[in-house]
Structure 1
């Protein structure tokens, strides 16, 4: 099985087991979710949800975040 085929198989199985898996991190786009996930590795999801609205009001895309 090729890597792409295996990845597709795994994703299919995960979707079967967890069809509507909730995402506890507050986000409005994929970039915000990515940043929230990175932050949640360093603290709790609860804390990330408290600070991310302020962060994303200042920069909610890669270009703004890089400034």
Structure 2
């Protein structure tokens, strides 16, 4: 969780610094892909967490596709 929180903080800092630049989009994609790869590596045998992580995964895909467009 510490890793994800610091990644989110870095992501928000990147967004503020480079909101309208190509550099921001590239960094945004890299950070989002890192978080998604982290979630995919989690063991899915725990059924209570499975739905939660799959929701985060779908939201992550949405932000990869629409994030650079929306922001």
The two structures have a TM-score, normalised by structure 2, of 0.29
Question: Which protein has greater RCO, CA pairs closer than 8 Å, 6+ apart?
Answer: 2
Whichever structure has more helix as a proportion of its residues is 2
Larger C-alpha radius of gyration, 1 or 2? 1
